[in-house]
Structure 1
Amino acid sequence: MRKKGEVFLFLFIGAFIGSDLRYLESLIFKTSSGFPLGTIVANLSGALVLPFLIHYLQDRFNLSKRVILTLSTGVLGSYTTFSTFTADAYRLYNSGQWVFLLIYLTITMIGGFLVAILGNYWAASRAFNDYVKREGRKK
C-alpha cells in the first residue's frame, strides 16, 4: 500500500509542475486573434519530449519507473491537454472560424504525429552519439 501512496504523491507533484508550466506557457503564447497557439505549443512540445524521455533519458540515466511515471504522466500529462484541444476546436467551430479550425486541427494532429517521430529520431540520434563516444574512448 505504501508504494501506491508514493506513486500518487509523485504524480501529484508532477501534475502540479506540469499544470504550472502549462499556465505559464499559455500566458507567453496568448494571441489577440483567439487562435489557440498556446495549446498547440504545449501539445506539440509534449509530443516531442515524451518519446525522447521514454527512449533516451530513461536508458541514459537509468531512470526508475517512478521517475518516468512522474515525468510522463504527471508533468507531461498535465502540461499537454486533450481536453483544451477539443474545447478550443469547438470554440473555433462554434464561432465560425473555419480557417483557424482547419489550421488548428491540421497542426495539432499531423504536427503532433510528426514531432513525435522527430522526438524518436532525436532519442535515437543521441543514443547513437553516446555509443560512438563510448566506443571511441575504449580504443
Structure 2
Amino acid sequence: MKKFYTFLIIFVGASIGGSLRYLIGLLFTVSSGFPWGTLFVNLTGAFLLPLLIHYLHDKFHLKANTVLSLTTGLLGAYTTFSTFTADSYKLFQNGNYVMLSIYLLATMVGGFLCAIAGNYLAANLATREYLSRKKES
C-alpha cells in the first residue's frame, strides 16, 4: 500500500509539472524555430532541484513522499530531456547548426550553472537562518 501511495504522490506532482511545461511551451512559442520554452524549463528546473533538495527539504522538514512528489514528480515532468533531444535533432535536420550549437551549449552549460546557483542559494539561505537562530538564542 505504501508503494501505491508513493506512486500517487509522484503522479500528482508529474501531472502538475507536465502541465506547467506545456503552458510554458505555449507562452514561449516563437517563429524562429529556437526552442525557448524547452530551454527555459530545463534551466529553471536545474536551478530549482538543488534548491528544493538542499533548502526547502531541510527548512520545512518535508517528508520523503513530499520530496519525491516535488523532485521526481513535479520537476521530473517539468523538465524534459526527450524534448531537448528532439528539438536538437530538429535544428540539426533543418541545417540550423549555429542555433543547434547555441542550444546545446545553453542547455548543458547553462543547466550546470543554474544547478550551481541553486545550490549556492540554498547554502546561503540555510547559513543566514542558522546565524539568525544562533543570534536569537
TM-score, structure 1 length as denominator? 0.97
Shift of 1:135: 1.2
Q: How does 1:15-34 map to 2 (within 5 A)?
A: 15-34=14-33
- Counterpart-to-counterpart distance in 1, 2:4 and 2:114: 34
- Counterpart-to-counterpart distance in 1, 2:33 and 2:118: 29
Letter in 2 for 1:76: L
**Deviating 4+ runs (over 6 angstroms):** none
Letter in 1 for 2:107: T
Matched, 1:129 2:128: yes
Matched, 1:86 2:89: no
Shift of 1:30: 1.3
- Counterpart-to-counterpart distance in 2, 1:88 and 1:70: 27
TM-score, structure 2 length as denominator? 0.98
Matched, 1:67 2:66: yes
* Counterpart in the other structure of 2:34: 35
Matched residues, percent identical? 55
Uncovered stretches (5+) of structure 1, i.e. residues with no partner: none
* Counterpart in the other structure of 2:115: 116
Shift of 1:29: 1.3
Uncovered stretches (5+) of structure 2, i.e. residues with no partner: none
1:6 aligned counterpart, secondary structure: helix
Shift of 1:137: 1.1
- Counterpart-to-counterpart distance in 1, 2:36 and 2:100: 12
Letter in 1 for 2:4: G
Q: 21-30 or 104-113: which moved more? A: 21-30
- Counterpart-to-counterpart distance in 1, 2:67 and 2:10: 10
- Counterpart-to-counterpart distance in 2, 1:50 and 1:90: 26
